[in-house]
């Protein structure tokens, strides 16, 4: 089904009741100009071992031919509910999607990541065994733009650990957004995503969900979390820093907790593109993905043609490739 959706507002529980024959899970994805990653991302959902789901997919005004690709998928798979309309931003798109989702559980997904086949199956099973849980994530495998592995996350697993990380450290990544699955009724109860936050909207909603139920992460790796120069981590860091104090202040006030003298600062800073590519190249070499390492090394040289570090890295890739071929 392809429709033009109405203006996005925070979901209204009274007007968002599931229709008959609602699926168990609604997978919710909003995408804007991620055409290179879409096939792998969309197919990772369509190929889940758990089959009772709908796929609510919002093209948020993409200008990179994402629309035609998504229409092809929608024409082939009736589980896809595709909405195409002008750009409104991620937070409004997610609230629009919440209003359309009919499933008992809502599984978030991003257009540049990859869900592993048993993600939905394992998350639904956990919810069935733990009715007190309202929000569930998992550990993730971080990958580079080409899918080469970087490292595996070490997420905390219990409600108390996750809530403490968010409240004390402001870590929305305590439950990674694109592998988060939550109960639809709980999300509606807390009012969905708050649209004044165009970044860290997940941290804000996770803190509010923690006030109506339990949070958890599965120890399994259920998502490949892609790092690339257009990801939120690189493009919205300043906005994340700006809104975090407001989000945490609200959470402390709601819970009647004394405000700390200062909230922790986001100390991580994205490296320059050339340095980031060199780091990805070294990780690809470690994973024995020399063709990927070559692409990163060449990319670093394009950004900094005179950088000695990039030339040394390129030489290392070439020498390693010769040795490997012998």
d(CA 7, CA 5): 7
Q: What pairs with residue 3 in β-bridges? A: 83
Q: Could you tell me which residues are beta bridge partners of residue 183? A: 105
Is domain 2-254 given the CATH code 3.90.550.10 in the classification?
Answer: yes
DSSP 18-71: PPTT--SEEEEEEESS-TTTHHHHHHHHHT-S---EEEEEEEES-SSSHHHHHH
Helix (H, G, I), strand (E, B) or coil at 95: helix
Domain segments of the chain: what residues? Answer: 2-254, 273-325
- In a structure prediction context, what are the per-residue pLDDT tens digits for the chain, which is 326 residues long? 444 433 335 555 444 545 568 999 999 999 999 999 999 999 999 999 999 999 999 999 999 999 999 999 999 999 999 999 999 999 999 999 999 999 999 999 999 999 999 999 999 999 999 999 999 999 999 999 999 999 999 999 999 999 999 998 877 689 999 999 999 999 999 999 999 998 889 999 999 999 999 999 999 999 999 988 787 666 666 777 788 888 999 999 999 999 888 777 766 677 888 898 899 999 999 999 999 999 999 999 898 888 888 888 888 888 865 444 33
For residues 124 and 10, what is the distance between their CA atoms, to the nearest angstrom? 25
3-class DSSP assignment, residue 112: coil
Distance CA 157, CA 166 (A): 13
């Amino acid at each position: 089904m392809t429709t033009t959706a109405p203006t996005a507002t925070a979901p209204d529980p009274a007007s968002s009741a599931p229709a008959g024959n609602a699926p168990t899970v609604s997978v919710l994805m909003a995408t804007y100009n991620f055409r290179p990653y879409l096939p792998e991302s969309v197919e990772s959902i369509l190929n889940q071992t758990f089959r009772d789901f709908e796929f609510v997919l919002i093209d948020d005004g993409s200008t990179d031919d994402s629309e035609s690709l998504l229409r092809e998928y929608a024409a082939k798979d009736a589980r896809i509910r595709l909405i195409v309309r002008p750009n409104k931003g991620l937070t409004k798109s997610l609230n629009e999607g919440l209003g359309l989702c009919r499933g008992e559980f809502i599984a978030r997904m991003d257009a540049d990541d990859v869900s592993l086949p048993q993600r939905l199956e394992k998350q639904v099973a956990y919810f069935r065994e733990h009715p007190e849980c309202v929000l569930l994530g998992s550990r993730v495998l971080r990958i580079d733009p080409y899918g080469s592995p970087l490292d595996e996350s070490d997420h905390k697993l219990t409600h108390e650990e996750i809530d403490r990380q968010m409240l004390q450290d402001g870590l929305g990544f305590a439950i990674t957004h694109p592998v988060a699955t939550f109960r639809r009724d709980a999300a509606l109860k807390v009012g969905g995503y708050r649209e004044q936050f165009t970044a860290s909207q997940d941290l804000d909603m996770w803190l509010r969900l923690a006030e109506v139920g339990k949070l958890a992460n599965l120890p399994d790796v259920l998502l490949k979390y892609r790092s690339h120069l257009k990801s939120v981590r690189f493009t919205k860091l300043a906005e994340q820093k700006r809104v975090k104090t407001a989000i945490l202040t609200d959470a402390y006030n709601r819970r009647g907790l004394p405000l700390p003298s200062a909230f922790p600062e986001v100390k991580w800073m994205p490296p320059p593109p050339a340095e980031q590519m060199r780091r990805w190249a070294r990780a690809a070499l470690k994973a024995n993905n020399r063709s990927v390492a070559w692409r990163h090394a060449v990319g670093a040289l394009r950004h900094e043609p005179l950088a000695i570090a990039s030339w040394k890295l390129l030489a290392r890739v070439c020498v390693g490739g010769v040795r490997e071929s012998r």
